[in-house]
């Protein structure tokens, strides 16, 4: 086992870079790419990595991952078969305007084995994502016994008084009324679009560290890009186990 990965326990997938939102706080910037990861490559990677490392968590996100529900389902179905306990999906909840399709995808992801859904809703998402379709999705998944929570992005802090946080609180009240719990959410980090559109809210004299940065000499979570990129290599070009064994900070 590669010593730099001795504590590896989580696999994340950016299922696609395509997105239905155009959020001004998005750390990924403009979503001009429509790359999406191949479902068989992703599921096979979960299976093979879990044979070598004690994986306890698999997460799918994007872009908007439910633009490719079959890929999301294939990844989590594999994780469930392997008895990986945490099978998480982060979504903005907006992938279709068609009620039948929304209900079908909700049913498929629950059946596939997803057991935790974090729904990104807040002032930033709802500037370009219509809440009505998100609410339909929320209703469709809120009937099952999976963990389902809303996950807002806060500007400066959850206590900070600014127009965005006020709007976010109004949106969250709608979900609270539906009996949907709230996760603590995350504080927006100055990168990507957030740097471009919200810089007045950040203290740029302070060097900030992304909460998502891993210690390169003690990697606990690996993240596949939508184009197969992983740990400075690419799973389409090189065997995934070889990528892991060859990794050095």
Q: By the criterion CB under 6 A, which residues form the site for ligand SF4?
A: 19, 21-23, 26, 28, 31, 62-64, 92, 120, 125
Q: Outline where DSSP puts E strands in 101-192.
A: 116-119, 147-150, 153-154, 181-182, 186-187
6 CA to centre of own chain: 24
Tokens of 18: 């395509």
Residue 27 C-beta: closest distance to ligand SF4, Å: 7
Residue 104 C-beta: closest distance to ligand SF4, Å: 21
Please report where in the chains the tokens 């996100």 appear, as a residue: 61
Nearest to ligand SF4 of 28, 144 (CB atom): 28
Residue 137 C-beta: closest distance to ligand SF4, Å: 13
Of 71, 59, 123, the residue nearest 95 (C-alpha): 71
Nearest to ligand SF4 of 7, 192 (CB atom): 192
Nearest to ligand SF4 of 53, 95 (CB atom): 95
Residue 153 C-beta: closest distance to ligand SF4, Å: 7
Of 85, 10, 2, 89, the residue nearest 46 (C-alpha): 10
Contacts of 29 (CB under 8 A, 6+ apart): 192, 193, 196
Distance separating alpha carbons of residues 235 and 87, to the nearest angstrom: 21
Nearest to ligand SF4 of 26, 114 (CB atom): 26
Nearest to ligand SF4 of 91, 115 (CB atom): 91
Tokens of 226: 């939508």
Residue 151 C-beta: closest distance to ligand SF4, Å: 10
Residue 186 C-beta: closest distance to ligand SF4, Å: 11
Distance separating alpha carbons of residues 156 and 144, to the nearest angstrom: 34
Contacts of 23 (CB under 8 A, 6+ apart): 124, 125, 127, 128, 193
Nearest to ligand SF4 of 21, 228 (CB atom): 21
């Amino acid at each position: 086992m590669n010593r730099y990965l001795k504590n590896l326990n989580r696999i994340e997938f950016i299922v696609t870079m395509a997105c239905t939102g155009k959020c001004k706080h998005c750390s990924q910037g403009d979503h001009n790419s429509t790359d999406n990861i191949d479902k068989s490559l992703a599921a096979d990677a979960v299976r093979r990595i879990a044979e070598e490392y004690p994986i306890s968590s698999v997460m799918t996100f994007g872009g908007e991952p439910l633009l490719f529900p079959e890929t999301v389902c294939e990844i989590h179905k594999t994780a469930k078969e392997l008895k990986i306990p945490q099978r998480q999906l982060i979504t903005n909840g907006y992938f279709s305007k068609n009620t039948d399709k929304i209900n079908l995808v909700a049913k498929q992801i629950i059946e596939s084995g997803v057991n935790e859904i974090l729904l990104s809703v807040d002032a930033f998402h709802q500037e370009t994502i219509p809440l009505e379709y998100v609410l339909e999705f929320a209703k469709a998944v809120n009937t099952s016994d999976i963990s389902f929570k809303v996950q807002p992005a806060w500007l400066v802090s959850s206590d900070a008084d600014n127009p965005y946080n006020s709007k976010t609180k109004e949106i969250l009240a709608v979900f609270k009324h539906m009996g949907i719990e709230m996760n603590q959410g995350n504080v927006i980090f100055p990168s990507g679009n957030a740097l471009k559109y919200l810089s007045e809210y950040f203290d740029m004299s302070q060097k900030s560290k992304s909460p998502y940065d891993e210690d390169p000499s003690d990697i606990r979570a690996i993240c596949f890009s939508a184009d197969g990129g992983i740990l400075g290599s690419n799973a389409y070009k090189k065997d995934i186990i070889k990528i892991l064994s060859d990794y050095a900070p």
